[in-house]
Structure 1
Amino acid sequence: MSYKKKQVYYDIKTEKKIVALTFDIGNGNQTAKKVLDILLNKRVDKTTFFLSSPMLESFPEVGIRIRQMGYEIGSHGYNHYNYSEYDNQWIEQQVTKAEEIIFKVTGVRPNLIRTPNGDFNQRVLDKLSEMGYTTIHWSADSLDWMNPGVEEITNRVLSRLRPGVIILMHASDTAQQTDEALPFIIDKLREKGFEFVTVSELINEENQ
């Protein structure tokens, strides 16, 4: 079936009880290690990580382990600046630099990107699309990076739960409560009959 993917995805419309659990990693390696251990122990085999390339330069073992565990890898760019505030040449330099680092560490050339701070406008989307990227946003924001408490993180995800959502979490060291909330979130989603898929699988489901 021939179809044109959207430039940006917040979620998809589906009747299947599937969700995409996604993690941004912008700094450190300790929370990432804990998150990956939880995903392994909980036998979650489908998730998508958006990797900041400076983090990968400092902690390549994080990217290597994510790749070895078979998880999907997307780009979170290089400098954590709002793309809409910069011209297209700057965007191309940033995204290309990030792509090369991700490829060097993991062997993956990503075609999904989550822009820093989730910032974009139509010009940014057009540029990223021209570069072969699909921009991934979210529809269930855990706000775990704010460390609001395990109960608040869990409730924010569950209150926004429906088929086809993209869940945003963080595995950066600044997110100090993610590893505590994650097991509850995984268990609750499964209790409600939801299955985990990668972002790419979610996108493909919409275009069946």
Structure 2
Amino acid sequence: MSFYTWKVERLKRYGVVVVLALFCALFLWLGQWSQLPVFSNNGEPRALTQGSEELSFVALTFNISWGSDKVYEILEQLESHQAQATFFVSGEWAERHPDIVTAIQEGKHEIGMMGYEYESYLELKPEQVRSDLSKAQEAFEKLGFEEIKWIRPPHGHMDKEVLKLIENEGMQAVQWSLNPRDWENPGTNAIIDQVLNEGEKGDIILLHASDSVKQTPKALEVILPGLKQKGLKFVSISELVSGGESETTQIN
């Protein structure tokens, strides 16, 4: 009896070890999948709004739809502080300023799009949205960007139908988690205070590089070293997503 009891006990111990091993393997497997962003839920496409709060990453993003002066000042600030960013530009603007697009790329920054004509997709018919997306893709392909992954719909306007159209084109919509509304020129200190006070791990910060912004380049002189002092690292949207589990927002 004692022999069989010992054998049963040993089998139980082995069984526990096997179960624990399988559990650990499953945990690691799920961990690998959690590193991949999930941009849809039950078939409903979503917009990327924030990166992982577990990593000290922050993504600076700049919208450009017109003008050519302020972007150079902003690029100088980014280079001075060795900060990487993602620039969302309209296809029409990119065609008019291929030299600036090249300068952005040479600065090791990422390029995203904002459609072609920068018209609200909520005011266009589905076929018009598809046409604008197609025209934008053609414009960027001619400039050597054959696989633009990220799109910020013009004016940030989107709904489920727009997101589905974007998804069908193989792209991902990107919103933001922090918006100091620099395009309103609220004051250099106001921009600085909001970004430094509210900026946290995983944030996607919305800024602009069109000529309408008068205070953003000056604000960056403080924002860039300030965020670094908070222990944050500037990364592109692609790095923000690949670095950890990202958050998305359901659009009604």
Same fold (TM over 0.5): yes
Is structure 2 residue 230 aligned with structure 1 residue 192? yes
Determine helix, strand or coil for the equivalent of 2:67.
Answer: coil
Alpha-carbon separation, structure 1, partners of 2:75 and 2:144? 16
Moved more, 57-66 or 19-28: 57-66
Question: How far 1:103 sits from its partner (Å)?
Answer: 2.4
Is structure 2 residue 51 aligned with structure 1 residue 12? yes
- 8 Å Cα contact 2:37-2:241 kept in structure 1: no
Match of 1:181 in 2: 219
Is structure 2 residue 64 aligned with structure 1 residue 25? yes
- TM-score w.r.t. the length of structure 2 is 0.78
Identity of aligned residues (%): 32
Determine helix, strand or coil for the equivalent of 1:8.
Answer: strand
- 8 Å Cα contact 1:53-1:98 kept in structure 2: yes
Question: How far 1:145 sits from its partner (Å)?
Answer: 0.8
- TM-score w.r.t. the length of structure 1 is 0.93
Moved over 4 A (4+): 1-4
Question: How far 1:4 sits from its partner (Å)?
Answer: 5.9
AA aligned opposite 2:161: R
AA aligned opposite 1:5: V
Determine helix, strand or coil for the equivalent of 1:140.
Answer: coil
Q: Deviations over 1:13-72 (max 9, x none)?
A: 32221100110111111101111111111111x211101122222221110111122211
1:72 to 110, 115, 120: 110
Alpha-carbon separation, structure 1, partners of 2:99 and 2:219? 24
Structure 2: tracts of 5 or more residues without a match: 1-31, 40-45, 247-252
Match of 1:114 in 2: 152
2:164 to 107, 126, 129: 126
Match of 1:159 in 2: 197
Q: Deviations over 1:132-159 (max 9, x none)?
A: 0100000110211111110111122123
AA aligned opposite 2:38: K
Superposition RMSD on alpha carbons, in Å?
Answer: 1.6
Structure 1: tracts of 5 or more residues without a match: none
